[in-house]
Amino acid sequence: MFVNRKKEFHLLKTVISSVEKNEHNNIAIIGNRRIGKTELLLEFKRTQNNKNIVMPYLNVQRVGDLQSFILSYYRELLFEIGKKRKLVANKTEFSNWDDILILSAKIEIDDISGKLKAKKGIQALDFLFESQETILKKTGYPAVFLLDEFQYVKNFGNRFTEIMRSIVEKQQKTAYIVTGSSISMMEEIFSKSSEPFFAQFRRMYLGFLNKQNSKKLTEMFLNKHNINIDNQPNNEIFRLTNGHPFYIISLCHGLIEEFDDSSIDTIKHVFLKETLSPKGDIYLVLDYIFNQSLSRAYKGKIHRQILLILAKKQGLTLTEISKDLNKPSGEVSNYMKKLLTTDLIIREENNYFFRDPLLAFWIKYTYLGINDIELEKKKVVDSLIEELTEKYLQASSELGRTKEYEFKVKLEEKYDIKFSNYVSSDRKREFDLVGKKHDVYYIAEVKWRNRKGSIKDIIDFSKKIQNSFFSDKKKTMLFISKSGFDKKALQEAQKEEIHCLDKNLNKIV
């Protein structure tokens, strides 16, 4: 049961069409825990299986060290080739080096497998990536490797990405689709200029399901269990879960288990139970995310205290948090830096927010020790839901680094062309979103901040274009700003023929 993420699927398919033409196109899917990354990869593998292409899947988190990564990676690759050739059918019969060597003999690559088995560490890794191309050329299949939870390769030492990159660059028969739930680590790997993979992968941020798909998922799930859901209660499920697939499914499980109706009151009650009662599925995942992320911040106690302050009031500044903690802001600034690396919170301008507003709500009420008996009271449920939807969820719909992707979709609808992130071939210039229609380039800059776009923003954008490939091309320049523009910015934009757009892509003049 998969609710189609059409746009994402379309993008993933371009990886296949590119590798079929021996072109490079790698994608990094970045998204919060339980947002549906694995589901998307596996569904993609399932539906594209008929093509003349192999798609090995590996979850890097499950692999302990470099040696087992090499074995698992190679095993998956050969297994997929063996399957295409109808030489193996079952993974359980294909688990160790002996099985690999037997299959290798059948596809006449036993010399490669023998050598790989004898090598250790970085040399083995180097050889693995080198031989992959030889094997694919020999067997005639291009490969799209699906590497789930890719950021865990960082555990295999610093040289891993260096080696992988130097070889990936030369490969023609392999493309990669990788995922990662540690957003800051993934961004570091793929967007930091000093990292080997800088600008080598197109980043795709996986967000919540849209309203239509969210409702479809609910409907499909409940109908399977013989529960009908009307439009209004289904809207309520979307409102509470924000379209988060795991939250939707947990809520539906709760509805199925305890009740035979799906009225709005029941939905509210079950959602809160799933979230705030230790028996709930959402509780379990939030608890895991909270503790696992915090374990990365060494001053556990004080970090917890800061999170609690933020959970009670989102959007505080460093000064406000320091005041509340009664500590100097220099010291608190260090704590905040550490907390930002946990992915629990984000900073927008000078204000700090939880990445997932439901987690903020959860921290506040689990700290206050709300219990299951209280959650049975309708009055308590109603007031909690009101607080959740009005104070937490609403504020969050304005946030998030998924904005670039969201605007890609909106711009594509508005202009009826494809937009993508653009990086110049010397890797020095990057534009948020660029598309082309007939001879005209559409170049968009997205600023998602709480202050108005300034004259400097406009001048910078204009200069960046003048110094780029687009300088003498026919173009439409678009500047999107969450908080609008100040007067001078608008005047300058008019001079420079830059279109200023608000968050709904309406033109501001």
Binds ligand ATP (CB under 6 A): choice among 77, 249, 360, 434: 249
> What mask of x and - would describe binding to ligand ATP in positions 23 to 52, judged by CB under 6 A?
--------x-xxxxxxx-------------
Residue 254 is a binding residue for ligand ATP (CB under 6 A): no
Binds ligand ATP (CB under 6 A): choice among 5, 173, 268, 273: 5
Question: At closest approach, how far in Å is the CB of 86 from ligand ATP?
Answer: 30
d(CA 332, CA 305): 11
Amino acid in position 449: R
Question: At closest approach, how far in Å is the CB of 448 from ligand ATP?
Answer: 23
Among 373, 1, 306, 356, which Cα is nearest to 181's? 356
According to DSSP, residue 209 is labeled P
Question: At closest approach, how far in Å is the CB of 178 from ligand ATP?
Answer: 12
Number of residues in contact with ligand ATP under rule CB under 6 A: 17
Among 109, 130, 107, 127, which Cα is nearest to 118's? 127
State the binding partner of 275 from ligand ATP, Mg ion, none, CB within 5 to 8 A by kind. Answer: none
Q: Which is nearer to ligand ATP, 208 or 419 (CB)?
A: 208
Instruction: List binders of ligand ATP among 175-204 (CB under 6 A).
Output: 181
d(CA 233, CA 402): 27
Question: At closest approach, how far in Å is the CB of 19 from Mg ion?
Answer: 23
d(CA 110, CA 313): 62
> What tokens appear for 140 in the block?
């005639």
Among 506, 440, 509, 508, which Cα is nearest to 473's? 440
Q: Which is nearer to Mg ion, 246 or 415 (CB)?
A: 246
Which phi and psi angles does 55 have, rounded to 5°?
Answer: -130, 80
31: left (phi over 0), alpha (psi -120 to 50) or beta: beta
Please give the residue whose beta carbon sits closest to ligand ATP in the complex: 36
Q: Which is nearer to ligand ATP, 1 or 373 (CB)?
A: 1
Tally Cβ neighbours within 10 Å of residue 105.
Answer: 13
Binds ligand ATP (CB under 6 A): choice among 28, 81, 217, 286: 217
User: Considering only 192-200, 244-252, 375-383, 410-418, which stretch makes contact with ligand ATP by CB under 6 A?
Assistant: 244-252
Please give the residue whose beta carbon sits closest to Mg ion in the complex: 38
User: Is the sign of the CA dihedral 335, 338, 343, 348 positive or negative?
Assistant: positive
Listed in sequence order, the residues at least 6 apart from 70 whose beta carbon sits closer than 8 Å to its beta carbon are: 116, 124, 125, 128
Q: Which is nearer to ligand ATP, 186 or 434 (CB)?
A: 186
> What tokens appear for 483 in the block?
């908080």
Binds ligand ATP (CB under 6 A): choice among 246, 259, 415, 469: 246
Question: At closest approach, how far in Å is the CB of 3 from Mg ion?
Answer: 16
Question: At closest approach, how far in Å is the CB of 6 from ligand ATP?
Answer: 10
Question: At closest approach, how far in Å is the CB of 103 from Mg ion?
Answer: 28
Question: At closest approach, how far in Å is the CB of 72 from ligand ATP?
Answer: 17
d(CA 41, CA 10): 13
Question: At closest approach, how far in Å is the CB of 356 from Mg ion?
Answer: 16
Task: Please report, for the chain, how many H helices and E strands are present, in that order.
Answer: 22, 13
Helix, strand, coil % in the chain, rounded to nearest 5: 55, 15, 30
d(CA 185, CA 167): 22
Question: At closest approach, how far in Å is the CB of 486 from Mg ion?
Answer: 43
Q: Which is nearer to ligand ATP, 246 or 415 (CB)?
A: 246
Amino acid in position 124: A
State the binding partner of 215 from ligand ATP, Mg ion, none, CB within 5 to 8 A by kind. Answer: none
Binding site for Mg ion (CB under 5 A): 37-38
User: Considering only 1-9, 290-298, 345-353, 453-461, which stretch makes contact with ligand ATP by CB under 6 A?
Assistant: 1-9
Contacts 24+ apart (CB under 8 A), 128-131: 128/70, 128/73, 128/74, 129/163, 129/164, 129/167, 129/168, 129/171, 130/167
State the binding partner of 244 from ligand ATP, Mg ion, none, CB within 5 to 8 A by kind. Answer: none
Q: Which is nearer to Mg ion, 37 or 268 (CB)?
A: 37
> What tokens appear for 498 in the block?
């830059």
Amino acid in position 373: I
Question: At closest approach, how far in Å is the CB of 498 from ligand ATP?
Answer: 37
Specify the pairing of strand 174-180 against strand 143-148. parallel
State the binding partner of 509 from ligand ATP, Mg ion, none, CB within 5 to 8 A by kind. Answer: none
Q: Which is nearer to ligand ATP, 81 or 146 (CB)?
A: 146
Q: Which is nearer to ligand ATP, 205 or 407 (CB)?
A: 205
State the binding partner of 249 from Mg ion, ligand ATP, none, CB within 5 to 8 A by kind. Answer: ligand ATP
Q: Which helix (H) or strand (E) holds 231?
A: helix 231-241
Cβ pair 415, 442 in contact under 8 A:
yes
Q: Which is nearer to Mg ion, 207 or 233 (CB)?
A: 207
Where does this chain bind ligand ATP (CB under 6 A)? Answer: 1-3, 5, 31, 33-39, 181, 217, 245-246, 249
